[in-house]
Structure 1
Amino acid sequence: MALVKDLYLAAKHHLKEKKRSLALKLAAEILFVDCGLKPGFLYDLSGAGVEEIQGYLKALHQMGFIKGPLHVLNMADTVLIVNVSSTVSYLRLLLDREDLHVIDVSAKLKQPEMFNQDRLCQIRSQLSDLLTLLKPNQDTKPDIISIGDIPCPEWNLCTMFGFLLHFPAVYWFDTSKSFENCLSFTPLKHFTVQTTCPKVGLQKIQVYSFTIPESVYQSVQTLLQTWIEGLRQMFHAQGHFTDLEIITETVTLPAVAL
């Protein structure tokens, strides 16, 4: 299959990725973002820099695999690949909401609890900064793979990444006190979304994975159901992926890294 070979060669050339399976999984993840099913993807495949990732995305566009425009966003040396239009629309939606559904998992707490809405001003300001950064790239030509860097020395990146990855609820913890959290041995509902991508010949590709503590589940259940229904509607409106599956299980872990 010529496309599969080209995708592998692009990853090998630009990202120095030699494992065929990982190269194809990465391509499928980026296609998921490109077709609007997910606003962003956290790149953690290799130590490639922003320019190498930009070159790789340009190669995918030149072969007709993605339509674009995509943006390579560097936040504290962590790279996200985002669909500009989807991300701008989603950030606007978040900023219009009264409740952002943020879960406080600071180490000082006995168990997770919903973040007080009157403390959300700083988070809203950070989301606004992201929107301001990305908006100028919204009207670029489809073949343009833009890059950007945003200074975020005091940001809780776990929270911002959660929003950019379109999780229905996101975690926050007080980084001024500790980088630990209170999720140890806490019952968590773990949601996994997986699908099949016939275009690259892969089945059961994990495209979402997130947890919600059982102690706050009732507070986010309605939003979660809306999120799942929205995902199903977007999924049925596209033709790249099939066999959407949402798996739910309850887990209790000795440690949870955020």
Structure 2
Amino acid sequence: MSLIVDLHSAAKRHLKGCKRSFALRLAAEILAVDCGLKQCFLYDLGAEDVLKIQRYVIELHQIGLIVGPLHILSIAETVLIINVPRAVSYLAKLIDSGELHVIDVSATLKHPRMCAQDRLLTIQSQLSDLLTHLTSYRSDLPGSISIADLPCPEWNLCTIFGFLLRYPAVYWFDTAKNFENCLPFTPLKRVTVETTCCKIGLDKLQVYSFTVPESVYQTLQPLLQAWTESLQHTFNGQCYFTGLEIIIETVTLPAVAL
């Protein structure tokens, strides 16, 4: 109970929306990043000053919830909290292999399809720039909570964030004309991963949620299987979360925000 009180107090000191449920869920998300269950957390729980988020995460370390180091990265007014060693290792292997699995969901298409090679080379170059940035923070000592802003005028952030979040396959769409996509009313496989944060006493924390169009699902199934096995291995190597549950269901949605 003392930890729960401390976590709620830390959130109230630094952040907006300081209800107890909010504070515990946010702390559990950051703990999942710190222990490696997640590579990155995209902070979309309301607009916050990045320095306030940094002070909040530093207090989580002082409380003893997290070890660190963690990196708080601001990209186009979006904040991501990143496990740098995990992200650097993953991106380096991804770029070295050249095996980028990107699904083109541009609004001009009738159906989603895998991206062409020239598009993948552009994305690979952008990921290399991101890796260069993150590598400079890799040697930070435990407890270090670094902060930075990264300009990215030509990046498709849906794609870059998908890789940072370590989704097995990510979306890309042509932003030259608009920011729409061809996913509305398209059958999708939705993958949701839930777990219990026993350290905080929080049930049904959603640590991953992403979709894959059914039209490419069979092609990507070996990749999804490898992703699931890797997640299970990481889960078995930590002690803060229990009861991993992976739910796969087919959905058709009138609108899909990316």
Provide the TM-score with structure 1 as the length reference: 0.98
Deviation at 1:191, TM superposition (A): 0.5
Number of corresponding residues: 258
Instruction: For 1:71-220, list aligned pairs within 5 A.
Output: 71-220=71-220
**AA aligned opposite 1:96:** D
Deviation at 1:16, TM superposition (A): 2.8
Deviation at 1:98, TM superposition (A): 2.8
Q: Would you say 1:25 and 2:25 are equivalent positions?
A: yes
Alignment gaps of 5+ in structure 1:
none
Deviation at 1:250, TM superposition (A): 0.3
Deviation at 1:154, TM superposition (A): 1.2
Alignment gaps of 5+ in structure 2:
none
* Deviations 1:33-88 (CA, angstroms, capped at 9, x unpaired): 00011110000122211100000010000111100000000000000000011111
Q: Distance in 1 between matches of 2:225 and 2:118?
A: 25
Match of 1:49 in 2: 49
Deviation at 1:101, TM superposition (A): 0.6
Q: Would you say 1:240 and 2:248 are equivalent positions?
A: no
**AA aligned opposite 1:8:** H
Match of 1:64 in 2: 64
**AA aligned opposite 1:86:** R
Q: Distance in 2 between matches of 1:144 and 1:231?
A: 26
Deviation at 1:142, TM superposition (A): 1.2
User: Structure 1: which 4+ aligned runs deviate by more than 3 Å?
Assistant: none
Deviation at 1:124, TM superposition (A): 0.7
Match of 1:253 in 2: 253
* Deviations 1:124-181 (CA, angstroms, capped at 9, x unpaired): 1110111111111111111211011111111100000100001000000001122100
Deviation at 1:119, TM superposition (A): 2.4
Q: Would you say 1:36 and 2:36 are equivalent positions?
A: yes
Any conservation in 2 of the 1:103–1:113 contact (CA below 8 Å)? yes
Deviation at 1:96, TM superposition (A): 1.6
Any conservation in 2 of the 1:99–1:117 contact (CA below 8 Å)? no
Q: Distance in 1 between matches of 2:2 and 2:67?
A: 19
Secondary structure at 1:232 match in 2: helix
Secondary structure at 1:61 match in 2: helix
Match of 2:231 in 1: 231
Change (3 A) 1:229 1:205: same
Deviation at 1:8, TM superposition (A): 0.6
Identity over aligned pairs, percent:
66
Instruction: For 1:11-22, list aligned pairs within 5 A.
Output: 11-22=11-22
**AA aligned opposite 2:48:** A
Any conservation in 1 of the 2:106–2:181 contact (CA below 8 Å)? yes
Q: Distance in 1 between matches of 2:235 and 2:57?
A: 23
Secondary structure at 1:247 match in 2: strand
**AA aligned opposite 1:236:** N
Q: Distance in 2 between matches of 1:231 and 1:15?
A: 30
